[in-house]
Structure 1
Amino acid sequence: MEAGSERPISIVEEEGGPILFLRGAIDIFLADELRQAAIDLQGREVDIHVCCQKADHLDTSAVQVLLALKKGLQAKGKAVKITRISSQVENLLKLVGLTDLRA
């Protein structure tokens, strides 16, 4: 079982760098928590991987946070990549034109 698996938003430290795990529906009610996690990760100046395997839905507030994270990391020569994508999130990425975030 991965660390923090019961939480909708968690950061797990891995050898290759931190992974941001998203689970369930990430919506406006979790936007502040996601934003804070993104700020914390952006300050590390490493590539960030976001695991969406167990994410059911990302609303526009979650997409905005991921876009801001992408922009902030790109300014530092780093990247954000979404890994292990659920079919629901895959469809959303296609719909909003963010398939470039896939790892």
Structure 2
Amino acid sequence: MKIEIYHKIIDCLESIRMHLKLSQLKFAAYFSFTREGYRLAIAKDTNKNKTYVKIDLIHILTTILYNLENYDIWKKKSSLIIKEITSCFTKYYQKLITFQ
């Protein structure tokens, strides 16, 4: 269940990336990830024996909010991004907290 929630949050990140029309490399740079690190974070690991790459969701959320304030490309799509954050992060992050 916990991994499924991570996947849903990563799907939200991918939706934000698609709204911004950025490559994975450019999008990853906004979060101080390498492209490989971002790909690992968004990987859909179907092998239950592997440890899923966990990402720091607080870091991601605060970075999104920072980017919305400071970068024009993010400001132009702010309503779509805020909608994604509201629908996804609040719903799924709350579920993750219950697993801690």
Q: Give me the TM-score of the superposition, normalised by structure 1.
A: 0.28
Which has the higher relative contact order, 1 or 2, with Cα contacts under 8 A spaced 6 or more apart?
Answer: 2
Higher helix share: 2
Structure with the greater alpha carbon radius of gyration: 2
